């Protein structure tokens, strides 16, 4: 799921060095040279001491080698293969299996088991996949929303990655199943599981997935050049620039922000020459010794770019062009710039060389954790056709990775994640819902059928894997949640304002800006960020809190819950909110204090707005969803379960996504006692 547009920050900033450091470096090396000369003279006169030191180092070396050679080895000789198909809904897959449209899903269901799978609360992809990989609820693993706040500053950040002082830090706060299998000496391969940036060091191979930023440090920011006049409303998901259309133009490829000594951080840029060819249907692009002819309405192959970011330091990236049009207006799209997997700016695989190995095996590929540019479609910079081409390309790359690993997979655990089914439903659900504001009765038939088409593609992937299964091998196929329509965007902070729980600094203002910027905390008792998270402005916790903890907070939570569940939408004649969950009902564990006080479970058709996610306070409290992002799973988790199939008999009647990790560990013979000690919230399914 591409959430580049909810990035409240500006990405990371790289720190470069100017030429003024050269003198300092020369002085440093001079000092080091003098130091080593002195040391050499000292040891030359004391050969006995040198001999003793060498013996000690030799002993230490032997001990280190012994420890390395004593790494756990396992006699586990079977295969556990897990396929993660994001967003497959039982309401779609069950009728398709009954009508025979999904032969491999049906085959697996008959041979083993099929169940609906309870998702996490909230039902967000990073939350659900973190629950999948840890077997624990968000209160234990620390992943509970895309957007998190710092109560001491009210500052907002994305939860998917954490880069500080030039280093990426792990965001899941619990062990994952691959940590346990690796400790047991079992070979493990993890292909783009969400929330795996930076990658864990495991016994096997891991390629990071959702959470890997683009080269700007965001979840995906495109660049768009157009000769059209710019709209007053700024694009959220990209940087859009107006150019005067000429036969020859010079524009920039935009790179990471670089801060040098004594200067303000600015984006590194690479100038690029664009020549409109005589046929007026193609262009010639030239930059950094590269030349490319690009025809109108086509994607380029992967292009390479190098940004100088400091003394002897460079950032390498890969990206694609799409030439939207030349006449009547010039429009050129440049995709978010991905890390070059042959030499990424940050480590994205374990071992480090694995990302390069995959290039040698399948060619260049998207490294950005959420690679499909949904917001370029939302903002009408790309149409549906090139977007579908991009979705297909991402799928082909992922399938090639899976095939590469399947062909050499002998034993252990293999997981591969496919996001295409989720993204297609987000962007094309409007073609299946006659009550959606953007429904098109006469839309092209492929658009109406595209969701079913992608379920069939997932079925074909399953068929490939089924052919590799033998004897006692285990196959698990699951989705993290289901899907439903997104007709109405709900502005939670606006509802709080209208009902007297939130105030703006300017009481006459029609609306408040993003990032909680205009809120008067001295008169605000509750506020919302993310996709349903509601926080009490609590005294002693929030910087400017006014609601006392204890009874006052609990009474306010009860009052808000009752009012929200009676919120009625006259347009569709139904309740907006299906359930409101108190913190202690859905979160438990050592990280519970950071979780929301309440979480709103919306009814089908409703979802927290993009503005709510970033803490804005729009004028209206609810409005039609007029964006092409028209399908959702950010509602009450009870309404959108996922699915699970296995070639083994599932003994639990109502399985949960939290059951998968304990199930994997049971298969590798972890005892009941050990499972209990791991403090899982799920149980083995067979």
DSSP assignment of 348-360: -EESTTHHHHHHH
Q: pLDDT at residue 35 above 50?
A: no
Q: Is residue 18 part of a domain?
A: no
Listed in sequence order, the residues at least 6 apart from 165 whose beta carbon sits closer than 8 Å to its beta carbon are: none
pLDDT greater at residue 101 or residue 65: 101
Q: pLDDT at residue 22 above 70?
A: no
Q: pLDDT at residue 66 above 50?
A: no
Q: Among 632, 650, 678, where does a domain finish? A: 632
| 538 burial via Cβ count (<10 Å: 0-12, 13-18, 19+) | buried
- Residue 142's closest CA among 623, 590, 661, 652? 590
Look at residue 61 in the predicted model and tell me its pLDDT.
Answer: 55
Look at residue 631 in the predicted model and tell me its pLDDT.
Answer: 98
Q: Look up the CATH number of the domain holding residue 391.
A: 3.40.720.10
Q: Among 587, 609, 632, where does a domain finish? A: 632
User: Are both 590 and 479 inside the same structural domain?
Assistant: no
Q: Read off the tokens for 488.
A: 């109405």
Q: pLDDT at residue 441 above 80?
A: yes
**CA–CA separation, 682 and 154 (whole Å):** 34
Look at residue 9 in the predicted model and tell me its pLDDT.
Answer: 52
Q: Read off the tokens for 512.
A: 């408040």
SS3 category, 439: coil
Q: Is residue 21 part of a domain?
A: no
User: Are both 529 and 409 inside the same structural domain?
Assistant: no
Are 46 and 290 contacting, i.e. CB atoms less than 8 angstroms apart?
Answer: no
- pLDDT band at residue 418 under the 50/70/90 scheme: very high
| 240 burial via Cβ count (<10 Å: 0-12, 13-18, 19+) | middle
Query: Whole-model pTM?
Result: 0.91
- Residue 194's closest CA among 415, 483, 362? 415
Q: Among 607, 632, 657, where does a domain finish? A: 632
Q: What is the largest CA-CA distance in the chain?
A: 94
Q: At what angle do helices 103-111 and 90-98 cross, to 10 degrees?
A: 90
Q: Of the given ranges (69-73, 78-82, 186-190, 625-629), which has the lowest mean pLDDT?
A: 69-73
Please give the tally of structural domains in the chain: 2
Parent domain of 568: 487-632
The DSSP-derived string for 277-346 is -TTSSEEEEEETTEEEEEETT-B---EEEEEEEETTEEEEEEE-EEEEE-SSS-EEEEPPPEE-TTS-SS
Q: Of the given ranges (71-85, 273-287, 665-679), which has the lowest mean pLDDT?
A: 71-85
Q: Of the given ranges (126-130, 156-160, 307-311, 363-367), which has the lowest mean pLDDT?
A: 307-311
Look at residue 616 in the predicted model and tell me its pLDDT.
Answer: 98
User: Are both 519 and 404 inside the same structural domain?
Assistant: no
Look at residue 262 in the predicted model and tell me its pLDDT.
Answer: 77
**CA–CA separation, 642 and 129 (whole Å):** 12
User: Are both 405 and 511 inside the same structural domain?
Assistant: no
Q: pLDDT at residue 70 above 60?
A: no
Q: Is residue 266 part of a domain?
A: no
Rounded mean pLDDT of 326-352?
98
Cis peptide before 525 (omega within 30 of 0): no
The sign one gets for the Cα dihedral 594, 654, 194, 628 is negative
SS3 category, 467: coil
pLDDT tens digits for range 344-398: 999 999 999 999 999 999 999 999 999 999 999 999 999 999 999 999 999 999 9
- Residue 88's closest CA among 685, 653, 633? 633
Q: pLDDT at residue 67 above 70?
A: no
Look at residue 37 in the predicted model and tell me its pLDDT.
Answer: 56
Q: pLDDT at residue 180 above 90?
A: yes
Look at residue 310 in the predicted model and tell me its pLDDT.
Answer: 82
Q: Is residue 540 part of a domain?
A: yes
Q: Read off the tokens for 592.
A: 């519970």
Q: pLDDT at residue 12 above 90?
A: no
Q: Is residue 645 part of a domain?
A: yes
Look at residue 231 in the predicted model and tell me its pLDDT.
Answer: 86
**CA–CA separation, 292 and 285 (whole Å):** 5
User: Are both 412 and 431 inside the same structural domain?
Assistant: yes
User: Are both 608 and 558 inside the same structural domain?
Assistant: yes
User: Are both 456 and 381 inside the same structural domain?
Assistant: yes
User: Are both 615 and 670 inside the same structural domain?
Assistant: no
- Tell me phi and psi for residue 468, to 5 degrees: -95, -10
User: Are both 472 and 520 inside the same structural domain?
Assistant: no
User: Are both 494 and 613 inside the same structural domain?
Assistant: yes
**CA–CA separation, 243 and 252 (whole Å):** 11
CA distances from 84 to 133, 136, 211, 414, 643 (A): 11, 18, 17, 11, 10
The DSSP letter of residue 236 is S
Q: Is residue 304 part of a domain?
A: no
Q: Is residue 394 part of a domain?
A: yes
3-state helix, strand, coil in the chain (%, to 5): 30, 25, 45
pLDDT tens digits for range 84-132: 999 999 999 999 999 999 999 999 999 999 999 999 999 999 999 999 9
User: Are both 204 and 110 inside the same structural domain?
Assistant: yes
Look at residue 346 in the predicted model and tell me its pLDDT.
Answer: 97
User: Are both 540 and 600 inside the same structural domain?
Assistant: yes
Q: Is residue 291 part of a domain?
A: no
């Amino acid at each position: 799921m591409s959430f580049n547009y909810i990035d409240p920050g500006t990405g990371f900033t790289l720190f470069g060095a100017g030429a003024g450091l050269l003198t300092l470096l020369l002085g440093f090396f001079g000092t080091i040279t003098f130091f080593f000369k002195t040391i050499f003279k000292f040891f030359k006169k004391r050969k006995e001491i040198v001999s003793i030191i060498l013996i000690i180092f030799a002993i230490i070396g032997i001990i280190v080698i012994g420890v390395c050679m004593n790494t756990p080895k396992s006699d586990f000789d079977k295969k556990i293969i897990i396929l993660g198909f994001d967003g497959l809904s039982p309401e779609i897959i069950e009728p398709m299996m009954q009508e025979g449209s999904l032969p491999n899903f049906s085959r697996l269901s008959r041979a083993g088991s099929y169940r609906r799978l309870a998702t996490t609360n909230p039902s967000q992809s990073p939350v659900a996949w973190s629950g999948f990989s840890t077997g624990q609820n968000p209160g234990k693993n620390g992943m509970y929303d895309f957007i998190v706040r710092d109560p001491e500053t009210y500052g907002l950040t994305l939860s998917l990655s954490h880069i500080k002082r030039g280093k990426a830090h792990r965001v899941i706060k619990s062990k994952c199943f691959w940590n346990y299998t690796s400790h047991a000496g079992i070979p493990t391969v993890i292909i783009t599981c969400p929330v795996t940036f930076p990658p864990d060091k495991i016994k096997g191979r891991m390629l990071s997935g959702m959470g890997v930023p683009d080269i700007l440090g965001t979840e995906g920011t495109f660049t768009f050049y157009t000769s059209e006049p710019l709209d007053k409303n700024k694009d959220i998901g990209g940087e859009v620039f107006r150019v005067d259309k000429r036969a020859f133009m010079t524009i920039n490829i935009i790179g990471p922000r670089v801060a040098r000594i004594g200067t303000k951080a600015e984006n590194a840029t690479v100038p690029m020459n664009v020549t409109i060819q005589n046929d007026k249907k193609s262009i010639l692009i030239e930059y950094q010794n590269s030349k490319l002819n690009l025809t109108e309405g086509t994607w380029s192959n992967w292009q390479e770019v190098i940004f100088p970011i400091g003394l002897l330091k460079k950032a390498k990236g890969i990206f694609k062009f799409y030439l939207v049009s030349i006449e009547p207006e010039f429009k050129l799209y440049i995709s978010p710039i991905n890390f070059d997997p042959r030499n990424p700016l940050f480590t994205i695989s374990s071992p480090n060389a694995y990302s390069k190995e995959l290039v040698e095996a399948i060619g260049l590929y998207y490294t950005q954790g959420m690679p499909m540019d949904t917001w370029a479609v939302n903002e009408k910079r790309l149409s549906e056709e090139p977007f579908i081409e991009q979705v297909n390309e991402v799928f082909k790359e992922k399938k090639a990775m899976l095939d590469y690993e399947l062909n050499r997979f002998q034993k252990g655990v293999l997981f591969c994640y496919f996001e295409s089914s989720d993204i297609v439903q987000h962007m094309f659900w409007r073609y299946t819902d006659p009550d959606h504001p953007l429904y098109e009765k006469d839309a092209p038939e492929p658009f109406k059928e595209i969701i079913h088409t992608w379920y069939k593609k997932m079925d074909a992937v399953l068929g490939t894997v089924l052919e590799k299964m033998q004897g006692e091998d285990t196959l698990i196929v699951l989705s993290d949640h289901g899907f439903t329509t997104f007709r109405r965007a709900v502005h939670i902070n606006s509802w709080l304002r209208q009902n007297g729980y939130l105030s703006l600094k300017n009481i006459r203002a029609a609306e408040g800006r993003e990032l909680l910027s205009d809120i008067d905390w001295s008169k605000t008792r509750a506020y919302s960020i993310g996709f349903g998270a509601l926080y009490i402005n609590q005294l002693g916790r929030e910087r400017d809190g006014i609601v006392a903890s204890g009874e006052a907070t609990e009474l306010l939570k009860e009052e808000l819950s009752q009012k929200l569940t009676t919120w009625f939408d006259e347009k569709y004649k139904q309740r907006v909110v299906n359930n409101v969950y108190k913190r202690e009902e859905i979160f438990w564990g050592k990280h519970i204090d950071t979780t929301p006080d309440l979480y709103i479970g919306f009814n089908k058709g409703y979802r927290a707005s993009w503005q709510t996610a970033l803490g804005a306070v729009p004028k209206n409290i609810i409005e039609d969803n007029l964006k092409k992002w028209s399908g959702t799973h950010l509602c009450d988790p009870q309404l959108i379960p996922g699915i699970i199939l296995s070639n083994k008999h599932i003994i639990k009647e109502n399985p949960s996504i939290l059951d998968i990790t304990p199930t994997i560990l049971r298969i590798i013979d972890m005892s009941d006692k050990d499972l209990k000690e791991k403090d899982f919230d799920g149980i083995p399914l067979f």
